[in-house]
Amino acid sequence: MIQIDCSLLYISGDYGQTFNEISECLKSMSYVDDKPWIVVVYLNDWIQIVDMSDSHSPIFNVESIDGWIIEAPTSMLVKYKKVSNKTGGLEESEWNLMILDYESKRKVEVILPNLFRISNVEQYNDVHRHYYIVVTDIDGARCLFTSIKTSYFVRVVCYLHNSEDECYIMIHPTLPGVILSNLYYKNHYLKTYISMNNRKSFDIIKYKDKNGNSVDSLFEHKLKLECKHSNMEYFPNEWMIKLKTLGDKLTHFLTFDGGKNWRIIPFLSLWVKTLNGGGIIVGFDTKTNEMVYSFDEGITYYHISIFEQDDIILDTQIIGVAENQRLVVFGRKSNMSQLIIAVVDFINIFSSYIYNDRAAMPNWRLFYMEHVKIKSKLLSRS
């Protein structure tokens, strides 16, 4: 007799007063973002999505041999094995894909072109009424496929770059049809490409200086395509994108036309932030420790020292919303004796900058924290 150890799933609908058992022999359980649903994987290889707001009723049931899932905002991709052939009492199985669409509550069987046998799923996106899947086949070919919310997927492009530090594609969250990808040009040279027409064509991105002239020395750079990203962090507004260079944490690029032409930020920085919907660009020069900022899409940059040159900048965060946004900078003294918190307020810059036709330095506050004693001072530059 074989004994199987089972995990049981209990759910309470009265804030923990009572619990009801709704499943047994549980392998894993996870939540679906922004929905009252849970994903339950059983030891018998069934995957079930349960609606906790509707008496724990099942929404989807999928038989999944050795399967696993990838979640997107409005759907879930399930990779599972399905018996394809029985010969002499032996069963052959191969990988299949199914999409569980939250909005329509339907199952979408993924049908890829003939002869493309799935080995692994690298990436899945569900955006702008399209499904996007990056899949590797048994021969190692890595390709992007897409579908307009149907079962039939078309091949978009192959020769996608393989890197543990980035995603294979990056889809613009607010501009439909804009796709960035690092591809091997003529199967050899790695370049960053962009499609502005939803995969109909891909072109190598261009690097320009602040006057719009091409900069040949920058064409060796490839952009790092972020996997998990905040729209406000990398896409401050509809036409602006901010990304780092692949393999380089200090070099940043900006585009203001949706991704066709890119401009390098002319200083090395661990963090580059944008405020006011991209109207303010700010970072810290790692060589001088100066804060560097721009109000005109990076045409002109201004410098100000709010830290000592040997102070260590640890992190930066944005607080507030819209025109009330402020930059909070966390740092410490090089001897670790003090924690430094600087709050940079750009609100008063706009009136000085507009009416006097010059850049006023921001008001800023610097707090030194030493044990429990707090010293503070307010400095103003104009």
Token pair for 277:
């919907």
Identify the pLDDT of residue 71: 85
Which residue spans within 128-260 are E strands per DSSP? 130-137, 142-147, 154-158, 169-171, 179-185, 189-195, 203-204, 206-207, 241-245, 248-255
The closest alpha carbon to 301, from 287, 317, 282, 319, belongs to 282
Identify the pLDDT of residue 371: 31
311 close to 268: Cβ distance less than 8 angstroms: no
Identify the pLDDT of residue 48: 82
Identify the pLDDT of residue 19: 75
Rounded to two decimals, what is the model's pTM? 0.79
Domain range summary for the chain, segments of one domain joined by + = 1-63, 265-381
The closest alpha carbon to 133, from 123, 148, 147, 120, belongs to 123
Distance CA 301, CA 298 (A): 6
Contact residues for 40 (Cβ-Cβ < 8 A; gap 6+) = 9, 23, 26, 28, 29, 47, 48, 49, 50
Identify the pLDDT of residue 379: 33
Identify the pLDDT of residue 263: 94
Per-residue pLDDT of the chain (382 residues; tens, 9 = 90+): 334 456 777 777 677 777 777 666 777 777 777 778 888 887 777 788 888 888 778 888 877 667 778 888 889 898 888 776 666 666 677 888 999 998 888 899 999 998 888 999 999 999 999 999 999 999 988 999 999 999 999 999 988 887 777 889 999 998 999 999 999 866 668 889 999 998 889 999 999 988 888 887 888 889 999 887 667 789 998 899 999 998 888 899 999 999 999 999 999 998 899 998 899 999 999 999 999 999 899 999 999 888 888 889 888 999 888 778 888 888 888 888 888 888 888 876 543 333 333 344 455 555 544 332 223 333 333 3
Identify the pLDDT of residue 115: 84
